Amino acid sequence: MLPFSRVAIIGLGLLGSSIARAVRQAMPTVRMTGHDASAEVREVARRIELVDDVADTPGAAVIDADLVILCVPVGAMEAVATVIADDLPAEAIVSDVGSCKASVARALSAVLPPARVVPAHPVAGTEKSGPESGFATLFRGRWCIVTPLAESDASAVERVSAFWRRLGADVEQMTPDHHDLVLAVTSHLPHLIAYTIVGTADDLETVTQSEVIKYSAGGFRDFTRIAASDPTMWRDVFLSNKDAVLEMLQRFSEDLSQLQRAIRWGDGDALFDRFAKTRAIRRSIVDQGQDDAAADFGRRHD
C-alpha cells in the first residue's frame, strides 16, 4: 500500500522538482499538486508537466493533500506554514526537506498541529537550482534523515519514512538538534570553507584571476563546485544553524592552527599522521557507496 495518495509540493526548485520526478517514477498513481512563489517557476513547471496541477496559491495546492512537503529555503518555512495552515486538511501530514532541522521544527510546530509535523532532510543535492535541474534518481542510495518532534504522531513518522524509502533513500531517525550538529560538520562547515577559499583566491593581487582559473585542477576547482551553491539557501542555513556551525568552526580553527604550527616547525610526522587519517576517511566514504572512487572525482577525460 502507498504511504500517501495526494502529495502537495511547495517550492518547485531542485529538491521539489526532484521529488515530483521521483514520485512519478516510483508511485505513478499518486496525484501531485505544486506551488512556487515565482510565477516564472510555475510557468516552467506547467510547461514540463512536473505535477498534475500547478496552483497559483499555496492554499490551493494543499487543499486536498494527505502529504505536504515544503521545499523552500529554510528561512521561508514559517511563512509558508502560516499561509497554508487554514487550508490544510485535518488529517494531512506536513514535512519538509530543509537542510537545518531545529529551527524548522520550531517554526512548523508554532503554526501547525505538532502531531502532524514530521520534518526530514534528504542528504542529497547538487549546486544547481530551479525546476529544470531536478532529476528522479537524486535520492537513490542517499540518506534521508527524519527528525520527528516529541509530539509527532508515530504513524505519521512511519508513513513519511516509507515515502522516502519508496524514492530510493535509506532512512535514519535523529532528533532535530543532533541532526544540526552532524550536518554542521559534514555539510555546513565544508560549504563555509569553500566559500572562503574561493573568495580568498578572488581577492589575491599577486596571482592573477586567469592563473587561478587556468591551474584550478590543483584542488581549487573542486571547491568552486561547492561554492557555486545557491546563495539564498546557504545564507538561510548559516543563520538557522548558527550555534552548531560556530561550535564546529571553533574546533576547525584550532585544528587549522595545529597544522599551521606543524608547517612552521617542520613537523613532518604531524602532517603525515593527519593526512593518513583523512585518507582513511575518504576510503570509508567510497566503501559505503557515498561517492565515486573513479580518479579525479569521476570526471571524464575524453
Return the residue matching grid coordinates 532512512.
171
**C-alpha grid cell, residue 196:** 572562503
Q: Around 220, how many Cα atoms within 13 Å sit in the side-chain half-sphere?
A: 15
DSSP 117: B
Q: Which is nearer to ligand NAP, 81 or 93 (CB)?
A: 81
CA dist 142 and 167 (Å) reads 10
CA dist 271 and 265 (Å) reads 11
Report, in Å, the least distance between residue 286 CB and ligand NAP. Answer: 20
For residue 126, report the phi and psi dihedrals to the nearest 5 degrees. Answer: -140, 180
Show the binding pattern over residues 59-88: x = contacts ligand NAP (CB under 6 A), - = does not: ------------xxxx-x--xx--------
3-state class (DSSP) for residue 173:
strand
User: Considering only 9-17, 46-54, 268-276, 277-285, which stretch makes contact with ligand NAP by CB under 6 A?
Assistant: 9-17
CA dist 273 and 99 (Å) reads 33
Contact between 38 and ligand NAP per CB under 6 A: yes
**C-alpha grid cell, residue 11:** 517550492
Show the binding pattern over residues 124-163: x = contacts ligand NAP (CB under 6 A), - = does not: -xx--xx---------------------------------
Report, in Å, the least distance between residue 74 CB and ligand NAP. Answer: 5
Contact between 13 and ligand NAP per CB under 6 A: yes
Site residue total, ligand NAP (CB under 6 A)? 28
- Strand bridging mode 67-70 / 31-35: unpaired
Report, in Å, the least distance between residue 230 CB and ligand NAP. Answer: 5
Binding-site ranges for ligand NAP (CB under 6 A): 10-16, 36-38, 41, 71-74, 76, 79-80, 97-99, 122, 125-126, 129-130, 230, 233
